[in-house]
Amino acid sequence: MPKKAIIVGGGTGGLAAAVHLQASGWDVEVRERAPAPPGTGTSVGLWPGALRALDELGVGQAARRQARPATRGTFLRADGRLIGNVDFAGLRRRTGDTVHVIARPALFTTLTAALDDGVVRYGEEVADVRTLTGSCDVVIAADGLRSRARTTLFGAAYGPRYSGVTAWHGTVDLDTEAISETWGQRARFGVTPRTGGHSNWFACAPAPERVPVPGGDLAALRSHFGSWHPGVRRVLDRVAEDSGAGISRNDLYDLAEPLPGYVSGRTALIGDAAHAMTPDLGRGACEALTDAVTLARELASRPRVEDALAAYDAARRRPTQRLARAARLMNRAVHTHRPVGAVRNAAMRVFLTVGRPPA
């Protein structure tokens, strides 16, 4: 009889774990509280490590066909002057690949297509993961930032913490092959390529948590970024032409405290449930994919589930918690008051010149 896994959460990590375990002969069930797959959503950047994880799942080429490769990456000041360039050519020489930007719904569709019909059960919410352990060999909690599983197993002290920064994002009818990020006084604005001749954009600035912006989101964007360089203004003009339609806003969070472990009994946490981080490094979806593939690989290769879970925790906890700390520091540096901003820009310039981005 095959071993059985119940996966709580049908996002990137949950679906990836399901694909790997199903291919390894496991009986897999994914319970997702949303009533249906997402039809819209932002894009995510897939770094080479995440693409290798998708290759291991057998869907890497399908994902690349749905994605847009980034050929250039730049960091700019608000007046348009260059801070530094991301060495994507060096990244390709080092890893054989570059960053690919894919719409989140397209990534979900690619992963779901590799699963048997009925594996993902939508509209099913799990209130307490402890009730599942008697009916399967392992429970994988992939239920995101506000993970009920994490709170149930580890307590409210490990819940989300507001970073003090809110983010707006959307899509405009502009074509670009470059990833750019502009840093100004306590704010930043980014543009990434998207298929179909479109671009994704995001904007971040300090704001009170869950407080509506006086005058509306478009007015807030104009106030924060309307005097920035022409590349930013061109995006804002397209947003304004669309009467502000399609602007989404969400506050940015990470975990108040790093978890003491990613495993409790025969339940393992992956992705944001384990190590939610602010999006400053663009690694959230990448790390969820790597978590999922690492965990599933260990479960498929080891006779004892307990040994597999211990190996997963040993492999993933320290590196992901380091990334979460780095993202938090980046968030604070970008959104700090002057004159630290000048030091921040100089430090990034040095890193881009002598360092290398993580793959």
Can you give the pLDDT at residue 340? 57
Q: Is the pLDDT of residue 29 over 90?
A: yes
Q: For residue 96, with 0-12 CB atoms within 10 Å meaning exposed, 13-18 middle and 19 or more buried, which class applies?
A: exposed
Can you give the pLDDT at residue 358? 65
Give residue for tokens 């959230």: 284
Can you give the pLDDT at residue 301? 97
304 or 333, greater pLDDT: 304
Can you give the pLDDT at residue 322? 94
How remote is the C-alpha of 263 from its chain's centroid?
21
Q: Is the pLDDT of residue 348 over 80?
A: no
Gap between the Cα atoms of 104 and 64, Å rounded: 13
Q: Is the pLDDT of residue 44 over 80?
A: yes
Beta bridge partner(s), residue 46: 100
Q: Is the pLDDT of residue 13 over 60?
A: yes
Angle among Cα 9, 12, 17 to the nearest 5 degrees reads 75
pLDDT (tens digit per residue) in 237-251: 999 887 766 899 999
Q: What is the DSSP letter of 336?
A: P
Can you give the pLDDT at residue 351? 58
Q: Where are the domains of the chain?
A: 4-160+254-354
Can you give the pLDDT at residue 339? 54
Percentage of the chain lying above the pLDDT 90 cut: 80
Coil, helix or strand for 274?
helix
Q: By the 8 A CB rule, do 356 and 87 touch?
A: yes
Q: Is the pLDDT of residue 341 over 70?
A: no
Listed in sequence order, the residues at least 6 apart from 23 whose beta carbon sits closer than 8 Å to its beta carbon are 57, 58, 114
* Mean pLDDT for the chain overall: 92
In this structure, whether the domain defined by 4-160+254-354 belongs to CATH 3.10.20.600 is answered with: no
